[in-house]
Amino acid sequence: MTQLLVQPPKGLYRAARPALQPQAHSLNLIGFGFDGTACFRKGTAIAPDAIRMVASDIESYSPYLDLDLEEVTSFYDLGNIIVTQSGDAHQDYLAAHERFNDLVAGFDLAADGIQFLALGGEHSISYSFISKYLHAFPDLVLLHLDAHADLRDEYQGYHYSHASIIRRCLDYFGPGHQLLQYGIRSGTRDEYAWMRAKQTLAPSLDAFVAFIEGLPADRPVYLTLDLDYFDPAYLPGTGTPEPGGEDFASFVRIIQALRHKNMVGADVVELSPPVDVSGNSDVFATKVVRELILTFHRGGA
């Protein structure tokens, strides 16, 4: 590599092993602390290390999955993609995106069994990962949990905006790809018209879980989770909170359904630690990440 692509985190995520490049047939945790297009409240840039710091102080055992982080093998922490802050958010994002491309150059995500769990950062960072998985898996199912539809072609002049992430990913959709969204409660009339026409919006939690349960066990699944999916009464520390969201119990139902599916990648985005000075949102987000790490674990499934 001719340039530095990632920087070490302030501390590793609990039981993770350090690594300088993606590890094959393994789960790879990586931070992407970009929040340049955040339009209301920033702060997500520091979320990856905030989650790592909290992780050492919460239980490693999940009673929801009956699994412990200490039982997870082949789990690595690659640190954080380097993100510059030049004042030009568009160029800063593209530069970080290219660093990620360089990091995975020479790897085949499908053949090498490389699973990423990305920690944002704002939701725009998900494009770097989802676009790669869409290319690697022609039958990928993209699950989208969020308060917002994120289907705008651009927002406030940004083509790669946090409000455009799903629209950008659709640019890579082929005939075998599928999108299902849940938790959406904010968007434009056009976004809602598109979701209704394409039938991408699950009408209920039951319907969303039933869809997951009905997927073939070997079909590749990617989950993108914007933490404003949760009601701000539970998780206020996010940039664009929306009343009427879900609780942690709904997430438990989803990960219990995903536990026996072919999870190939995921991201957790939009935690903004400065917004919630109590630190409770950091703890909430870290428990979400714990459950996802365990959801990837195939041993004893």
The answer to whether 96 and 84 have CB atoms below 8 angstroms apart is yes
Q: How would DSSP label each residue in 67-120? A: EEGGG--SEEEEEEE-----S-HHHHHHHHHHHHHHHHTT--TTTTTEEEEEEE
At residue 205, the pLDDT reads 98
How do residues 47-80 score in pLDDT, each as one tens digit? 999 999 999 999 999 999 999 999 887 799 999 9
Residue 301 in this model has a pLDDT that exceeds 50: no
How do residues 1-42 score in pLDDT, each as one tens digit? 446 899 999 999 998 999 999 999 999 999 999 986 655 677
pLDDT above 90 as % of the chain: 77
Tell me how far apart the alpha carbons of residues 56 and 9 are, in angstroms, rounded to a whole number: 14
Cα torsion for 237, 267, 169, 100, to the nearest 10°? 110
Q: Where are the domains of the chain?
A: 6-296
Tell me how far apart the alpha carbons of residues 245 and 242 are, in angstroms, rounded to a whole number: 7
Tell me how far apart the alpha carbons of residues 58 and 289 are, in angstroms, rounded to a whole number: 11
Query: What pTM was estimated for this model as a whole?
Result: 0.94
Residue 191 in this model has a pLDDT that exceeds 90: yes
Topology of domain 6-296, per CATH? Arginase; Chain A (3.40.800)
